[in-house]
Structure 1
Amino acid sequence: MTEAVIFDVDGTLVDTNYLHAVTWWEAFRQYGHGVDMAAVHRAIGMGSDKLLDQLLPDDRDRDEDDAIRAAHKTLYRLFWKRLRAFDGAADLLRACAALGLKVVLASSAEGDEMEALRAALDADDAITAATSSADAEESKPAPDIVQVALERAGVPADRAIFVGDTVWDVRACQKAGLPCIAVLTGGIGADEVREAGAVAVYDGPAHLLAELDRSPIAE
């Protein structure tokens, strides 16, 4: 029986994945790395440490990694006041809370970035708890942030379900032992998230909200 729903935020509830892609692309360019935008997009959802390892050469000057992260954050920060939640995202959280479920945000965003995401979402009345980058030793697809979210919810993995938008979400959930619903708002195809192990796929938060009573959340 489901007692908690854990939501990824970037790309799942708030429309940020392509903003991350273009700002990472520009940060890489500033430090002399030409990385195709499509490759950057497919790595979004990983933590920044794994994203850099995925996209940059092993023999790079790793002393520049922190500077590249800082450049990305500076560029991305320009969009914070213009972030937009997906249609139905806030209503979905409130509908889950109305069912008596704990609603937890599982994000690896830093504190000030998380504040911007929550402001865009505007659903704090429905949120039981949230995570940030400070809560996990290792980023997705490692299960750390999912496990912290479970601890914040106070429920075991078999009484929770996760909603995310990338294969990295699905893989982290598999390691943590809970099912993952996928939405397609992050730009990853339905076949890919199903192949990774998503238990159900919806076009976005509004679609999941419309099907909530028939979804794995209600089951």
Structure 2
Amino acid sequence: MAGYSGHTAGMGMDALVFDFDGLLMDTETTSLLAWQDLWRWHGLELDVAGFFARHGGDVTAERYAALAAAVGPAYDQDASHARRQAVRTELYAALELSAGIGPWLDDAEALGIRLAVASSSPREWIDGHLDRIGQRDRFELLACGDEVRAAKPAPDVYLLALSRLGVPAERALAFEDTVHGVAAAQAAGLRCVAIPHPNADPALFTTADVLLTSAAEISLESVIARAERRQ
């Protein structure tokens, strides 16, 4: 690919490509908490088992529709949306990088490994969160859901990230927190490290090249070495 230099900084990976929601920042848990609060505000309890979609697309409309059906004729969409937005804003204001991710980014920079994000979420969402915590400049580029035709598990955002990096898939390593994210990365030809978000079942991540419980449990060099052994 154009722009690929073959520089490895002594390692076999030239780029690390991170999912955003649930991986770089645990927006999955904060989203769940905001929806749980909204259902309880209506005197109901959210079915957590069916909350997380098995794809990377936006399911906000479907979630509101489910709530409206549960509440019945008294449901007020505007009031419900205002409530969720207020709670969500408060929760997100305290959100930082997931445990262990900051040191990984430091180590990648020291090793000369390039950093990118591949997410089904829109650019404005990712930029806003990373800018707020002062981390946006650490990533050379973003590949976002509003730039491609299909969300994960389709490989589109990963293919876009690789194209922008100018790096072949075998020289990049993906990091994901969902099964459909792992599928997307591997469909694009990348090996993938899975760190399931707190509400995901680790037993479902059978195809991941490396499975971790947290980025804090292992050094970046060690996780790259483990992934490289899965050739």
TM-score of the pair, normalised by structure 1: 0.75
Residue equivalent to 1:188: 200
Q: How many residues align?
A: 209
d(CA) in 2 for partners of 1:25, 1:48: 18
Q: In structure 2, do the counterparts of structure 1 residues 88 and 217 end up closer, same or farther at CA, with 3 Å as the change threshold?
A: farther
d(CA) in 1 for partners of 2:170, 2:60: 28
Residue equivalent to 2:214: 204
Does 1:12 pair with 2:23? Answer: yes
Q: In structure 2, do the counterparts of structure 1 residues 2 and 214 end up closer, same or farther at CA, with 3 Å as the change threshold?
A: closer
Give the match's secondary structure for 2:108: helix
d(CA) in 1 for partners of 2:34, 2:223: 34
% identical aligned pairs: 26
Give the match's secondary structure for 2:219: helix
Residue equivalent to 1:61: none
Task: Give how far 1:73 is off.
Answer: 6.4
d(CA) in 1 for partners of 2:38, 2:145: 20
Aligned-CA RMSD value:
3.7
TM-score of the pair, normalised by structure 2: 0.72
Amino acid at match of 2:182: V
Give the match's secondary structure for 2:227: coil
Deviating above 6 A after TM superposition, structure 1's stretches of 4 or more consecutive aligned residues are: 26-30, 70-74
Task: Give how far 1:200 is off.
Answer: 0.5
Unaligned runs of 5+ in 2: 1-11, 67-77
Task: Report which of the two has the higher share of helix.
Answer: 1
- 1:170 pairs, out of 179, 182, 200, with 182
d(CA) in 1 for partners of 2:124, 2:157: 18
Which of structures 1 and 2 has the bigger CA Rg?
A: 2
Residue equivalent to 1:122: 134
Which string of whole-angstrom CA distances, capped at 9 and with x for unpartnered residues, describes residues 175-196 of structure 1? 2122111013443233211x2x
Does 1:147 pair with 2:127? Answer: no
- 2:49 pairs, out of 38, 41, 62, with 38
Does 1:216 pair with 2:189? Answer: no
- Mean alpha-carbon deviation: is it higher for 113-122 or for 3-12? 113-122
1:23-172 counterparts in 2 under 5 A? 23-24=34-35, 36-40=47-51, 42-43=52-53, 46-49=56-59, 52=62, 76-119=88-131, 122-172=134-184
Q: In structure 2, do the counterparts of structure 1 residues 123 and 213 end up closer, same or farther at CA, with 3 Å as the change threshold?
A: same
d(CA) in 2 for partners of 1:217, 1:126: 24
Which string of whole-angstrom CA distances, capped at 9 and with x for unpartnered residues, describes residues 89-130 of structure 1? 122122123222211011233333213321355334432111
